[in-house]
Structure 1
């Protein structure tokens, strides 16, 4: 396997595993005296706030100094934050570390997607990458719960070590990271590079920074060839599934036990892993892959009222397939760090804001009406024309 691909694959598994390893032990991390929902939510949300704030800035930075360097920054921040979470019980340090961990995510993903999009086997590589992404999420939750009796931070420490392994792999590329002439995009091994590199701009090495110039680039990327449509689809797709997931524990309290709920949610990760691989290997148009993912996700939301296990499996399958089609479509328009940062911001905007907004309607309308409404919104996205 190409060394850079190995770095990306091992890193995404460790980064996502570490991000989810805290979820089953949030009350214990908050401390018995501080174990309020607010404290636990702050520890949980710190990661996503850090990521949301930095996905676009780090995408810009990747275009300036090179993708591999920014990937390396993301891995480094992940290792540092994981060490502090593993060895500290101070609530302030834990909160700041979760935020720094989110910064690592914000640095890693735009640069990683930009690298993957430039390779000849980009669609297959994106499928494999998303498979490992969901495998990391599932493993983080699973092993954190299973190993909690050995110590509440056992799984956190394990995924920190795995991130350290990725950091060690990165050090093997230290010559490329140090060289001012290398962007992290060039000199790939045979079979990995893409001819689109030839027409790409070299990363900027000057220290000057012109905000107006980058605002213009961001605006140009957003409105370029229907990019904004893909961004909007990602917001509504992952927002609708996030709305269901964030409220399903309360909705299902009367008919699902905690182990049954955990099994159902785990099924979504498993389905996303499988659909990512399938979407990465099939010969189909990107828009058809995205539409199939939307239909699966909307169907899953409808089934959530009666059959939760099947529902989450379909939701995971839809989200896993759709993200491959969306990223491939984005890369055809613009595979720069700015574009990938913008795209990932759409996903995190959906996951972070739509569940909050949608929850406001649960009181007056009820869970079932809100869930059904979100499924109908998803189905209307099928009317959007994009290539």
Structure 2
């Protein structure tokens, strides 16, 4: 029970801390879109570089130790962001925070995917992950005016002590012995699945990183708008964990809807706040079904989940690292329209390529 609690509470607080910077991105970035994108993406760069090695290592030394190390590193980096004030210092510590989160997420999701009730657990995992993202936005937005821009970071850094204490007495549990995964074989078999993860997960990051400066809304309103997307993902994650569907058709449909939604996200502010809310709800619903479907498929491959999930997380964080940054550069050097349409076109690439997926589910 302590293992499950430390993972569910841990993913909740780690994600809340990662998102606490979003409502105040213009403050950290001095209102420069490229620097704004760099601060946002730095976290995902650190995670991107860590999740695969962490997954590989978790198959060899176990998940619990890496979960603990990830929580400790995240606490340290969160405290550093609170204490240091320069934009480039924040970028550096966001990278370190991403390294800690990458260790935690990779080991924790690998643990989840090796349990007998992995599909239901993955629904809770992604549900609480997105609940953390929501409260990270809302709490920071509410605390920003009375206590300052860094108050949200401080609050969630202190909250991380709870799952860390739970993890200290956690034990390694191995229910089923599975085959060792060969990295090149996994990449070859699931390449289109991983590509869809890069693009579709990265697309949600583009909306999150561009909207603060694109709309000039207040931190509180931005927290509400972006939080609505995460609430939708919470709902769809729980629903997807109890539904029966085939992954490829879901991903293809999701890719088409994502392309339309990202394009509409550019035009929606001109029509008012309601169209913006509808777009973000749709994006959140798409993301929940795709994430649960992908991880459920990978759980049935017959392989130990460290490498398989490590590559999945690498694809996720790769998308969240590079797509927002590239879209931010396009928006700054050209215009916001180019940044949004570039992302929408990539989603259409998934729509046309996912049908070529030759993934083999061995369960």
TM-score, with structure 1 as normaliser: 0.78
The residue correspondences of 1:196-275 to structure 2 (distance < 5 A) are: 197-200=176-179, 217-223=182-188, 226-248=189-211, 252=215, 261-275=222-236
Q: Give the deviation of 1:298 after TM superposition.
A: 3.5
For residues 164-213 of structure 1, the C-alpha deviation after alignment (integer angstroms, 9 at most, x for no partner) is: 1011001122xx4xxxxxxx242xxxxxx4xxx23446xxxxxxxxxxxx
Cα root mean square deviation, aligned:
3.1
Partner of 1:124: 120
Partner of 1:346: 315
> Helix, strand or coil for the counterpart of 2:177?
helix
Describe the shift of the 1:153–1:371 C-alpha distance in structure 2 as closer, same or farther (beyond 3 A): closer
For residues 129-160 of structure 1, the C-alpha deviation after alignment (integer angstroms, 9 at most, x for no partner) is: 10111111111111111011123332222211
Describe the shift of the 1:200–1:383 C-alpha distance in structure 2 as closer, same or farther (beyond 3 A): closer
- The 10-residue stretch of structure 1 (131-140 or 355-364) with the greater mean CA deviation from structure 2: 355-364
The residue correspondences of 1:9-88 to structure 2 (distance < 5 A) are: 9-26=8-25, 28=27, 41-88=37-84
Distance 1:82 1:258 in 2: 20
Partner of 1:172: 169
Q: Bigger relative contact order, structure 1 or 2, given CA contacts below 8 A and separation 6+? A: 2
The residue correspondences of 1:330-369 to structure 2 (distance < 5 A) are: 330-333=298-301, 334-357=303-326, 363=334, 366-367=337-338, 369=341
Q: Give the deviation of 1:289 after TM superposition.
A: 4.2
5+ residue gaps in structure 1? 177-183, 187-192, 202-215
Distance 2:323 2:42 in 1: 17
Distance 2:348 2:20 in 1: 33
Partner of 1:294: 255
5+ residue gaps in structure 2? 269-274
Distance 2:212 2:31 in 1: 19
Partner of 2:352: 380
> Helix, strand or coil for the counterpart of 1:198?
coil
Decide which structure has the larger Cα Rg and report it: 1
Distance 2:164 2:219 in 1: 36
TM-score, with structure 2 as normaliser: 0.83
Equivalent of residue 294 in structure 2, options 326, 336, 350: 326
